[in-house]
Structure 1
């Protein structure tokens, strides 16, 4: 039976870092099953078409040859229908799955561009692919990414509540494309306004950051406006 590493969601956010190089170790079938069940839950909840590929080097063969990554032979294909809001849902569900994987003792790397798009597209002929998540047992646990200061990405009208401070702190831990962290959170009372600079991966980054903010701030403490 699969054993989850004992950690809270906040601890998972703190410990999850980008990992590109993995041990040459097969993911056990019980862990694969647990991941696939979580993926299907997200697919149903967010109307997506994610799926896991194991022991398949097609997505990262070129990067392996260039020594950018190592043993990247397991990955989640992030597919979904081309509907309004799909990219944000892809990002949001991605965050959920990556943090769940962390509790299973796995490491991840969200990849939006540096993978073999042609090879992966063949695996998902009916649904567009928005990225992949490389997954496995890392040679290291990775290191925290460079981050902006909280005052650069938020403001709050009045006395700042703890839930807002914590939400911003953990939002800054979310992976974003090229580590841009181009978001801004504006709070007042129990309302939070979220904006993200227009550009590539805007929707996906928004989903990733919102998930982290919600997980730390607590959905019961605020609502998006």
Structure 2
């Protein structure tokens, strides 16, 4: 869960997609070609990673050309093929880390989509043999995201109805409904979609949005990803996050 009031840095949409288009076209892809990432893709990705790390005190890293990155038995069970580039999502160990990495990691994933890449969030299925990232003392690797040129564009995941994650959806303002709709397009572990959103009054004249999730594996990270989508869906409407 993001801290109260946090709205993250805007990244550079260097590709030909708007943020909403990136959300709508991005699906999980597990099979990739062996084409290396183009320089005009790597450069804006590295710039965005640097900006995210500086803003949120993270240590996210881009690993390139590591063909054995997803070589473990579990990875083979879920049909990972050809994945050799990835984001290593790393930050200082704390209670909020998974949610923060989910939020900022998804910003980078959507930027990658706008640059013509495909991606897949990976929790416990990866095994990095000759790992191309460093985890400093007091830091934690929470997940990785496979990146590359997919052999397919992936397919949309099944989704809950908006009312399932927001009981007051039908009477909510348009900007809030757009936020919920975008959140439901967010990737979640095992497609759990255990998050929920609600309007929770006002603070300093701004609407307050409560974001919450049930317990479970990767649910805090899933919530951070969903919050990223919600913000994009809500557009320019100002609001404040809360978990109260």
- 1:86 Cα offset (Å): 1.4
Q: Distance in 1 between matches of 2:91 and 2:158?
A: 30
Decide which moves more: 139-148 or 79-88. Answer: 79-88
Conserved in 2, the CA contact under 8 Å of 1:192 and 1:223? yes
Q: Distance in 1 between matches of 2:210 and 2:161?
A: 18
Return closer, same or farther for 1:117/1:70 CA change in 2, 3 Å cut-off: closer
Conserved in 2, the CA contact under 8 Å of 1:17 and 1:144? yes
- 1:103 Cα offset (Å): 0.7
Q: Which residue of 1 aligns with 2:154?
A: 142
3-state DSSP class of the match of 1:93? helix
Q: Distance in 2 between matches of 1:119 and 1:88?
A: 27
Conserved in 1, the CA contact under 8 Å of 2:90 and 2:135? no
In structure 1, the gaps of 5 or more residues are: none
Conserved in 1, the CA contact under 8 Å of 2:88 and 2:145? yes
- 1:32 Cα offset (Å): 1.3
Q: Distance in 1 between matches of 2:183 and 2:172?
A: 16
1:130 is aligned to 2:130: no
Return closer, same or farther for 1:67/1:206 CA change in 2, 3 Å cut-off: closer
Structure 1 counterpart of 2:51, from 35, 41, 51: 41
Q: Structure 1 length normalisation: TM-score? A: 0.91
Q: Which residue of 2 aligns with 1:198?
A: 215
Q: Which residue of 1 aligns with 2:41?
A: 31
Return closer, same or farther for 1:80/1:119 CA change in 2, 3 Å cut-off: farther
Structure 2 counterpart of 1:176, from 188, 211, 215: 188
Whichever structure has more helix as a proportion of its residues is: 1
Q: Distance in 1 between matches of 2:103 and 2:85?
A: 21
RMSD value over aligned CA atoms?
2.2
- 1:124 Cα offset (Å): 2.2
Q: Distance in 2 between matches of 1:86 and 1:219?
A: 26
1:75 is aligned to 2:86: yes
Conserved in 2, the CA contact under 8 Å of 1:163 and 1:221? no
3-state DSSP class of the match of 2:155? coil
Return closer, same or farther for 1:100/1:193 CA change in 2, 3 Å cut-off: same
Q: Which residue of 1 aligns with 2:10?
A: none
Q: Structure 2 length normalisation: TM-score? A: 0.84
Number of aligned residue pairs: 222
In structure 2, the gaps of 5 or more residues are: 1-12, 202-206
Q: Which residue of 2 aligns with 1:58?
A: 68
Structure 1 counterpart of 2:171, from 159, 162, 165: 159
Return closer, same or farther for 1:193/1:65 CA change in 2, 3 Å cut-off: closer
3-state DSSP class of the match of 1:37? helix
Q: Which residue of 1 aligns with 2:26?
A: 16
